Structure 1
Amino acid sequence: MDANHKKTLLKNRLLLARSLDLGELLQYLVQEGVMNDRMIEKIESKSTSFGRNVSFLNALPTRGPKAFNVFIDGLRETQQDFLAEQLMKPKSPENDENQTPAVIERVLDICAEPLRSTSTNSCVPSATDFKDGSRRVTVEKSTFEFYKSNFHRSYKMTSKPRGYALIVNVTEFDSAVELPQRQGGNLDKENLGQILQHLGFETLLIENETAADIRSSLKSFALKDDHKLRDACVVALLTHGQDGSIYGRDGIPVEIEEIFSYFDNAHCPNLRNKPKIFFVQACRGSLYDKGVDESDGRRRTSCVSAGSTDVNFSEPRLPTRSDMIFGYATQRGQAAMRNTHHGSWYVEALVKVLAKNAKNRDLAEILTSVNSVVKGMQCNSPGSDLHACKEMPIFHSTLCKKLYLFPGIIESQK
């Protein structure tokens, strides 16, 4: 590999270490003769995705004169065009050796242009088009054969649109409020909004509202008549929070359980027996997860059999809260990590896993994979309290069937 290519890799090393998806890329490099199976075994022996990426970046410059160009081709082949473009950017006098590369590595290269303006004085959710920017985001489609094999054991998910998705995004807080602005939060809004639209949801947005307006918006949204005609509903809450609550622009908390109650079977009859999906990107406390050193070993667990209970099926009733799934960026008491250039760890992982796996995996499996991706991430901020901190998402479910999103399948095809 020539000196200029090595220099380019070195200049972009941190970006690549954080962002590379090695899965299919390694196989491409084996196919093209740049890597071999022994190298892949060594790379994959590392316990974190960051560690695997670093091991790969150490090996790549030693793989001969064609390694860099094949690497670029591999990035494009595996839909990591944003990294290829960053590496191939022409040098300019404006970019010196010590300058951080221009950050364009939004999840799946979802580089939405500025969103159409929505009123910050109205608590009515506004329809928002997140498709104005790059269309290179790719949601892999379900096959009709997969649908035919699985629809009978899953929620109906073929309406067009699938349902409404409401994003509540607060990035700016009143000057009198002791809460910092959420830099990078708008990336989450754009990335999540685009992926939901590509999955077939009609996306609505409210931004930078007070706690009272957030409550009013959510209540009105839950009571929309059109829920009757659609198969599902998504609510995403992107703001600061503490355990059990999120904050409006005015720093006043809104209880998360109160929000969930707006959509339960007692208060939201139009969504009964339909899946209600919630994503909460907010801190749930002020503690940072310092992590622990990884060690091998398993602890045995014992199983206890539950006693039998008499059940009366004489009346067709529903539990108050059923058919819901709740995804949280972090666990109770813990802070959620957010990068000012990339957006939050959780939304970044969620968008990426949804785009690749919604075609044939149910939402519980997808959120488990999101947990795995975020588990492998680690804060790199030497000298700060955040250095080496971790984050661990969590989800809870009252779903009663498999929840496949069946991207690309609509009712007319059945």
Structure 2
Amino acid sequence: MDNQADEQDFLGMGSKSPSSSRSERIVSRPTLDEYYDTTYDRRGIALIFSHLNFSTMPSRNGTDKDRDDISSVLYDLDFDVRVFNDLSRKELLETLREVSREDHTKNDCLVVVVMSHGEQGVLYARDNKYSVDSLWRHFLGNACPSLIGKPKMFFIQACRGEKFDEGVVFSSPQMRNKPRDMVDSRSDQLVFSIPTMADLLLMYSTYDGYYSWRNPRQGSWFIQALQKELKENGKVKDLLTLLTGVSRRTAYEYQSCVPHDERMDCMKQIPCLVSMLTKTFYFTKKTKSRVVTTIE
């Protein structure tokens, strides 16, 4: 019986002993709201890191189209869009650090888009590689207090390995169109706590270990699917429904066409979504002023 009592706090949610004083109680459930608050003065910052040229790796032709398309749609969703081209590892990591130190109190959320070369667990800046978790490390709850309880979204267009998805052949009456051929705190008051990693969303262009396709003229499959879905449905559908649509577009509308290389021909791709969101999020319409800044 004593053990049973120890396992319950006054909300039946934690492991605090009922004998603990009220000043020591930290509640794990600050709100029962189902939706993220989008009534702040500003939508938030959208960082776009586009990499075309590298010191020792091939250029990523097509990334300029991806950069411009995703910048435009995020601008239309009222973000303060900041574009960075071909940053070095030091410059990129310092930019993330500086933005995390800004005051996001009046912002709804944060978006970070990275388009580069990659491998399992790492991404490439112009001159060197860095760990993929460096992207969000400075924005977690224990590092960026003004973003606590707000969605932080990271979209990563990069390879995560060298495997190819050969796809599975099937027929369906719903498949009317063929895929498009494309290449490439404690205090005296009651306080609330949430997990450090809460409210984080990561969407990779492909599954771990797999190749990510990009067309040198039309852009990458993932970023093009993302910008189209946001443009068509960004103001009416919730975030997870939107991103399911991105996966659907990528999976069904695209297929590689490399007839001179049988190993790469007719390949498929499926994005990978990792969500630690705790509420439903909508890009609701706002009329605040918007800013686009390009930094070379």
Interval of TM-score (by shorter of Structure 1 and Structure 2):
0.7 to 0.9
- Per the TM alignment, residue 315 of structure 1 is displaced from its structure 2 partner at its CA by 5.4
Q: Distance in 1 between matches of 2:268 and 2:154?
A: 23
Q: How many aligned positions are there?
A: 238
Q: Contact 2:251 / 2:268 at 8 angstroms: preserved in 1? A: yes
Q: Contact 2:247 / 2:271 at 8 angstroms: preserved in 1? A: yes
Q: Which amino acid aligns with 1:170?
A: H
- Per the TM alignment, residue 259 of structure 1 is displaced from its structure 2 partner at its CA by 2.0
Match of 1:165 in 2: 46
Question: 1:359 and 1:257, CA in 2 relative to 1: closer, same or farther beyond 3 A?
Answer: same
Q: Find the partner of 1:230 among 104, 107, 128.
A: 107
Q: Distance in 2 between matches of 1:171 and 1:159?
A: 35
Establish whether residue 272 from structure 1 lines up as the match of residue 148 from structure 2.
yes
- Per the TM alignment, residue 318 of structure 1 is displaced from its structure 2 partner at its CA by 1.9
Residues 250-329 of structure 1: matches in 2 within 5 Å?
A: 250=127, 252-294=128-170, 316-329=192-205
- 1:281-303 per-residue CA deviation (whole Å, 9 max, x = no partner) reads 1111111212222379xxxxxxx
Match of 1:371 in 2: 247
Residues 14-413 of structure 1: matches in 2 within 5 Å?
A: 153-174=34-55, 177=56, 179-225=57-103, 227-250=104-127, 252-294=128-170, 316-376=192-252, 377-384=254-261, 385-408=263-286
- Per the TM alignment, residue 183 of structure 1 is displaced from its structure 2 partner at its CA by 0.2
- Per the TM alignment, residue 351 of structure 1 is displaced from its structure 2 partner at its CA by 0.7
SS at match of 2:82: strand
Q: Contact 2:122 / 2:129 at 8 angstroms: preserved in 1? A: yes
SS at match of 2:114: strand
Match of 1:107 in 2: none
- 1:136-183 per-residue CA deviation (whole Å, 9 max, x = no partner) reads xxxxxxxxxxxxxxxx63212234530010111111011xx1x21000
Question: 1:352 and 1:160, CA in 2 relative to 1: closer, same or farther beyond 3 A?
Answer: farther
- 1:233-254 per-residue CA deviation (whole Å, 9 max, x = no partner) reads 111111111111110111x211
Q: Contact 1:228 / 1:270 at 8 angstroms: preserved in 2? A: yes
Q: Distance in 1 between matches of 2:211 and 2:256?
A: 12
Q: Which amino acid aligns with 2:72?
A: Q
Q: Which has the higher contact order (CA 8 A, sep 6+)?
A: 2
Normalising by structure 2, what TM-score?
Answer: 0.76
SS at match of 1:287: coil
- Per the TM alignment, residue 231 of structure 1 is displaced from its structure 2 partner at its CA by 1.1
SS at match of 1:262: helix
- 1:10-37 per-residue CA deviation (whole Å, 9 max, x = no partner) reads xxxxxxxxxxxxxxxxxxxxxxxxxxxx
Q: Contact 2:44 / 2:107 at 8 angstroms: preserved in 1? A: yes
- Per the TM alignment, residue 359 of structure 1 is displaced from its structure 2 partner at its CA by 2.1
Q: Contact 1:195 / 1:355 at 8 angstroms: preserved in 2? A: yes
- 1:68-103 per-residue CA deviation (whole Å, 9 max, x = no partner) reads xxxxxxxxxxxxxxxxxxxxxxxxxxxxxxxxxxxx
- 1:336-390 per-residue CA deviation (whole Å, 9 max, x = no partner) reads 1000111000011111111111222111110101111111111122122321011
- Per the TM alignment, residue 207 of structure 1 is displaced from its structure 2 partner at its CA by 1.4
Runs of at least 5 residues in structure 2 that lack an aligned partner in the other structure: 1-32, 173-189, 289-296
Q: Which amino acid aligns with 2:195?
A: P
Normalising by structure 1, what TM-score?
Answer: 0.55
Quick check: which one's strand share is greater? 2
Question: 1:293 and 1:355, CA in 2 relative to 1: closer, same or farther beyond 3 A?
Answer: same
Q: Contact 1:155 / 1:401 at 8 angstroms: preserved in 2? A: yes
Kindly name which structure, 1 or 2, has the bigger radius of gyration based on alpha carbons. 1
Q: Distance in 2 between matches of 1:243 and 1:294?
A: 30
- 1:205-247 per-residue CA deviation (whole Å, 9 max, x = no partner) reads 221111121111111111112x112111111111111111110
What is the root-mean-square deviation of aligned Cα atoms in Å? 1.8
Runs of at least 5 residues in structure 1 that lack an aligned partner in the other structure: 1-151, 297-313
Q: Distance in 2 between matches of 1:387 and 1:186?
A: 25
The sequence identity of aligned pairs, in percent, is 32
- Per the TM alignment, residue 408 of structure 1 is displaced from its structure 2 partner at its CA by 4.0
Q: Distance in 2 between matches of 1:357 and 1:194?
A: 15
Q: Which amino acid aligns with 1:267?
A: A
SS at match of 2:52: coil
Q: Distance in 2 between matches of 1:201 and 1:394?
A: 24
Q: Contact 2:41 / 2:106 at 8 angstroms: preserved in 1? A: no
4+ runs of 1 displaced by more than 2 Å?
158-161, 292-296, 407-410
Quick check: which one's helix share is greater? 1
